[in-house]
Amino acid sequence: METQFNKIYEMYNQDIYRLIYSYTLDCAESKDILQETFLKYYKNINKLPTTSEDIKKWLIKVSINTSKDHLRKIIKCRFIFDNEIYKSMDSSDLEVIDILKKLNKKYRIPIFLYYYEGYKIQEIATLLHLKESAVKMRISRARKIIKEEMELI
Amino acid sequence: MKKIQEKYHNLMENIKLSEGETNSIKQNILNQSNKHYVFKPAFASLIILTIIFTLGITVNALVKHYNIKTNEEYKKDVVFNGVIDKKYDSGLFEKNKRYTIEELEEKLELKILRNKKIDNDLFELYNLSNKENQITKMNFWLINKENSTNKNDKINYSFEINTDLKEGSRFAMSGDSQLEIYKIKTLDTEAVIIESKNETYGPLLANFEYDGIIYSIELDKIDFSKKELYNILNSFFIEK
């Protein structure tokens, strides 16, 4: 069981961490959520899909739900940056973070899955329990907001 | 947009855990999972009992406070038409402000249900709609305690108040969810449960209306069983 866990953890911990970060924009919170997500995976390892792609989808769903759960508890996302990561970011990264902060949380995951992970609208709809039209609308609204914010910079 | 896509991609490439952080998180997971592993037989028994209990529940689809409609994509939507026949000035509440249950009852001049499983009583107004200086819709959610080890602090509890019939509450079912009607004995009302078809994870939502207010309990199947949801629903009561 531990070998299987190690394999999946090594394969996906960075991807899932990025996904969580794209939602929380908080490194410390993202690490806690990542740990909780993979703990859930370990505890359910025998009941879950066996293909690595399906496991990744399972991890995405669970990490999104866990992130929402965490943020409901703290309500306000603190936007605290881990010093090391903050130092390594250039002005372009900080500019994008500023824009993402202005984006409603419900838009952040669809944007990440679409533009970074390259999932199709239909796949995102299944992962997020949304209709395809709702996913399209969220991505389109997010793009509009990002475009407007970019024009202000 | 291409420029921002590129910048976004670059930012995400920079978001990564160091080798030390990766190993430390993995070690924490392995330590914690070994601690929990002792309880696995008891947990398995609980799952079996839950399945037996679930099979024993009679599904009784009496339409009372809600309608179940088939939408344009041939999936089901559950619509609650609960409405409060009162007028509230738009300045009565402030979005994102927190209120105790007693403050809410005083301002709303309404009784709000209590729950024996939930001992905190602070709510945040996270959604507010106005029309012609009157409030038409309000959504409050419970502020869960931070860093709590009590499982019940994972219960996401919210309620919605509408003063305009146009502002009904719609809960859309996705293709991989299923619906169940459950009678809450303590309140003599029916809850509509929408849950993921997946046995181990996914949302477990229960919505019901009581005295015009629409209450919602949102859990994740990975943390709570259906039996636990029934227990939470049956723990609602009216404070005298």
Q: Which helix (H) or strand (E) holds B19?
A: helix B19-37
Backbone angles phi, psi at B41, to 5 degrees: -60, -40
Report the gap between the CA of A117 and the closest CA in chain B (Å): 10
Q: Under a CB-based contact definition with an 8 Å cutoff, are residues B188 and B196 in contact?
A: no
Report CB contact under 8 Å: A74, B11: no
CB contacts of B222 in chain A (<8 Å) are: 40, 44, 62, 65
pLDDT tens digit at each of 240 positions of chain B: 667 778 888 888 888 888 888 888 888 888 877 654 444 445 545 454 444 344 433 333 333 466 666 554 445 667 787 888 889 999 999 988 899 999 999 999 999 999 999 887 889 898 888 888 999 989 898 887 766 778 888 888 989 999 876 656 666 665 567 888 999 988 888 998 988 777 777 778 899 999 889 999 988 888 889 999 999 999 999 887
Q: Under a CB-based contact definition with an 8 Å cutoff, are residues B138 and B93 in contact?
A: yes
Please, which residues bridge with residue A95 across strands?
A: none
Q: Under a CB-based contact definition with an 8 Å cutoff, are residues B181 and B193 in contact?
A: yes
Q: Which residue of B has its CA nearest to A118?
A: B9
HSE at residue B171, side-chain half, CA atoms within 13 A, is 26
pLDDT of residue B2: 63
Report the gap between the CA of B88 and the closest CA in chain A (Å): 26
| Sheet with B76-80, side-by-side order of all strands | B66-70, B76-80, B169-172
Report the gap between the CA of A136 and the closest CA in chain B (Å): 15
Report the gap between the CA of B85 and the closest CA in chain A (Å): 30
CB contacts of A77 in chain B (<8 Å) are: none
Distance in angstroms (rounded) separating the CA atoms of residues A88 and B226: 46
Report CB contact under 8 Å: B8, A111: yes
| Mutation site, A37, A50, A65, interface B, largest B CB count within 10 A | A65
Q: pLDDT means per 10 residues in chain A (153 residues)?
A: 88 94 85 91 85 90 85 43 51 78 86 90 86 87 84 65
